[in-house]
């Protein structure tokens, strides 16, 4: 089975790289290093952490995955997709994606007008309680 990902020349198709691509393709939640390692372990591979971090850097450079930081003191990665934001449930830690039709256009226009700061990007993440957890008294969601 061929890879669905296109690599430029001088980039090799290796088992680790392929495994990571498959992982991100099948998982819809931003994963941290631990989760990625657990997946590799469970799939029978014993991959060195240096290799994992280097492959993650490579995949970010290749724009196959995106790096995320929710202020947890570590990075998370998810399959690259069009601009969107996240809803982080503080009760069960589930992470959902959300995108807005208008995004932050009005805010960015206001910034340019009032400060002359030219916005090139932004990071917007929401914290709160997901639908499931709202329906539980003890705020422990089974997911």
Tell me, residue by residue from 17 to 56, as one string, x for binding to DNA by CB under 7 A and - for no binding: x--------------xxx-----------xxxxxx-xxx-
86: nearest Cα among 55, 78, 135, 53: 78
Phi–psi pair at 59, nearest 5 degrees: -65, -30
Question: Using an 8 Å Cβ cutoff, are 21 and 27 in contact?
Answer: no
Which residue number, 44 or 121, has a Cβ lying nearer to DNA? 44
The whole-angstrom separation of Cα 143 and Cα 91 is: 11
Q: By CB under 8 A, name the one of 121, 137, 138, 142 that touches its own copies.
A: 121
**How many chain residues interact with its own copies (CB under 8 A)?**
35
Q: Which of 21, 108, 32, 96 is nearest to 69 (CA)?
A: 32
Applying CB under 8 A, among 48, 82, 120, 138 the residue interacting with its own copies is 120
Residues within the interface to DNA (CB under 7 A): 10-17, 32-34, 46-51, 53-55, 57-58, 73-75
């Amino acid at each position: 089975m061929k890879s669905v990902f296109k690599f430029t020349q001088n980039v090799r198709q290796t088992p680790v790289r392929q495994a990571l691509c498959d992982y991100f393709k099948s998982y819809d939640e931003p994963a941290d290093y631990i989760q990625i390692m657990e997946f590799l372990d469970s799939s029978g591979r014993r991959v060195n952490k240096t290799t994992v971090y280097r492959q993650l850097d490579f995949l970010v450079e290749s724009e196959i995955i995106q790096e995320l930081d929710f202020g947890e003191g570590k990075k998370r990665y998810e399959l690259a997709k069009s601009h969107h934001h996240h809803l982080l449930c503080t009760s069960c830690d589930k992470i959902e994606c959300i995108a807005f039709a208008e995004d932050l256009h009005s805010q960015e226009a206001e910034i340019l007008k009032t400060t002359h700061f030219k916005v090139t990007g932004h990071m917007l993440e929401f914290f709160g309680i997901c639908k499931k957890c709202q329906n539980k008294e003890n705020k422990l969601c089974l997911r």
